Amino acid sequence: MWKYIVFAFCSLLVFAAAPPPSETHRYRTDYEYNKRTNAFYKLHIEVNRYGRSQDVCRIEGAQLMVPSTDEDIAQLHGMFKYYPDLGDYVWVGNDGQQHESAEVSPIIDLTRLESMMDNSDLLDATGCDVVTRKGEIDTLPCYHRLPFICKVEAKDAPYDRHCDVYGKDYRYYQSVGSCYAIPKIPYSWPQAYDDCQAQGAHLVVLNSQAEHDAVYNLTNTEPHVPGARAYYFFFAGYRADVPVGNATVVFKTIFNQTLEEAGYNGWSENEPNNAQGREYCGSIFKNDGKLNDLECAHEFGYICEKEVH
Ligand SMILES: *[C@@H]1O[C@H](CO)[C@@H](O)[C@H](O)[C@H]1NC(C)=O
Ligand SMILES: *[C@@H]1O[C@H](CO)[C@@H](O)[C@H](O)[C@H]1NC(C)=O
Ligand SMILES: *[C@@H]1O[C@H](CO)[C@@H](O)[C@H](O)[C@H]1NC(C)=O
Ligand SMILES: [Ca+2]
Ligand SMILES: [Ca+2]
């Protein structure tokens, strides 16, 4: 009996004293904490142009790391060394100073032509800052595709206490008891899946007609996602395996339920149509809030969900 009371009392103390996650040096699961700088970092090993790198960091509640101290460089060096095959440069935030160009001789290549079509990165004619493997700051033309590093100070790292997510712009729908957000960046289905997970949420799963109504409302009240292949589709948390032989395609949620088991299976008209035999990832169609299959590798907006208990 006493044992139980003491145990219960201690549990209460622990519970009451537990600081919010932002003060326990936790952030998105894909970020690493450095106690010397009291900040979180993520080295993105996928390559992007400079502008897109800035966008990705911003979506994660961070910024391209401006290497303001030796500690920042040391942090990057520590992360970089795990990827010996990653090349010699990582995009960092411009620190406002002039640096040597890391480019030995001017190259004219296809990436340049490609970048002409996306002039945002050409605006910066003076180049964009990189950190080299040796820890030096140089510049390269902004249209190069490089890995990049994001940083956020612990005090600025977003934590939504009500929704219990490390993300911004989550909206609570009382009719469902879930919070939702539409990050303002287009991703492939696997990237979207990872991003929601890293925030402590998951790609949206419709479990009822009421939830359909809420998400339909959300997609019609949020601004378009810039750069999405089509602004009216949003990746959602269901997909199918590519069938072997003439087996039937079965869509399942990320929690391994069929759509019927999950509680909502309202396909949009003439869907799923498996267009060009390549549509195995799930989405929600803005016009009716219903389901549609899409190609997993294409980049669309997506919806993250977190249940509130
Ligand atoms: C979404 O819900 C809000 C609040 O209930 C309501 O004011 C708004 O009209 C709805 N919008 C749509 C497009 O359903
Ligand atoms: C395709 O389906 C038919 C009838 O359902 C079956 O007889 C046949 O063995 C299947 N073929 C393959 C390759 O699975
Ligand atoms: C998913 O569900 C199916 C059928 O209910 C089951 O056979 C399978 O083992 C499950 N997969 C996982 C990863 O739990
Ligand atoms: Ca749900
Ligand atoms: Ca389709």
Q: Is 213 in the pocket of ligand 1 (CB under 6 A)?
A: no
Domains delineated in the chain: 21-153 (3.10.100.10), 160-307 (3.10.100.10)
Once rounded to an integer, what is the mean pLDDT over residues 148-158? 96
Could you please report the per-residue DSSP string of 38-77? TEEEEEEEEEE-HHHHHHHHHHTT-EE----SHHHHHHHH
How far is the C-alpha of 244 from the C-alpha of 5, rounded, in Å? 58
In the predicted structure, residue 13 carries a pLDDT above the cut 60? no
Once rounded to an integer, what is the mean pLDDT over residues 177-203? 98
DSSP SS3 for 235: strand
How far is the C-alpha of 83 from the C-alpha of 106, rounded, in Å? 27
CA of 244, closest atom in ligand 2: 14
Which residue minimizes the CA distance to atom 6 of ligand 1? 217
How far is the C-alpha of 289 from the C-alpha of 215, rounded, in Å? 7
pLDDT 10s digits, 241-250: 999 989 999 9
CA 29 to chain CA mean position, Å: 11
pLDDT 10s digits, 203-242: 999 999 999 999 999 999 999 999 999 999 999 999 999 9
- Run of H or E residues at 238: strand 233-240
Compute the mean pLDDT over every residue in the chain, rounded to the nearest whole number: 88
pLDDT 10s digits, 68-121: 899 999 999 999 999 999 999 999 998 878 787 776 544 445 455 455 555 554
Confidence class for position 21, pLDDT limits 50, 70, 90: low
What is the CB neighbour count within 10 angstroms for residue 10? 10
Angstrom CA distances, 155 to 33, 65, 66, 177, 240, stand at 12, 15, 17, 28, 41
Q: Output the pLDDT for position 27.
A: 96
Which residue, 67, 73, 130, 138, is CA-closest to 102?
138
Which residue, 236, 245, 246, 251, is CA-closest to 285?
236
If one residue of 182, 221, 232 were mutated to test the ligand 1 pocket, choosing by the most ligand atoms within 8 A of its CB, it would be 221
User: Would you call 239 exposed, middle or buried from its count of C-beta atoms within 10 A (0-12, 13-18, 19+)?
Assistant: buried
Which residue minimizes the CA distance to atom 10 of ligand 2? 246
DSSP SS3 for 300: strand
Q: Is 174 in the pocket of ligand 1 (CB under 6 A)?
A: no
Q: How far is the CA of 262 from the centre of ligand 3 (A)?
A: 14
Q: How far is the CA of 83 from the centre of ligand 4 (A)?
A: 37
Q: How far is the CA of 172 from the centre of ligand 1 (A)?
A: 13
Q: How far is the CA of 217 from the centre of ligand 1 (A)?
A: 6
Which residue minimizes the CA distance to atom 1 of ligand 2? 246
If one residue of 217, 220, 232 were mutated to test the ligand 1 pocket, choosing by the most ligand atoms within 8 A of its CB, it would be 217
42 touches 62 (CB < 8 A):
yes
Which residue minimizes the CA distance to atom 13 of ligand 2? 245
Q: Output the pLDDT for position 227.
A: 95
Q: Is 217 in the pocket of ligand 1 (CB under 6 A)?
A: yes
Q: Is 175 in the pocket of ligand 1 (CB under 6 A)?
A: no
Q: Which residue has the tokens 């929601």?
A: 196
149 touches 79 (CB < 8 A):
yes
Whose atoms come closest to the Cα of 272: which ligand? 5
pLDDT 10s digits, 283-295: 999 999 999 999 9
Tell me the one-letter amino acid at 68: S
In the predicted structure, residue 158 carries a pLDDT above the cut 60? yes
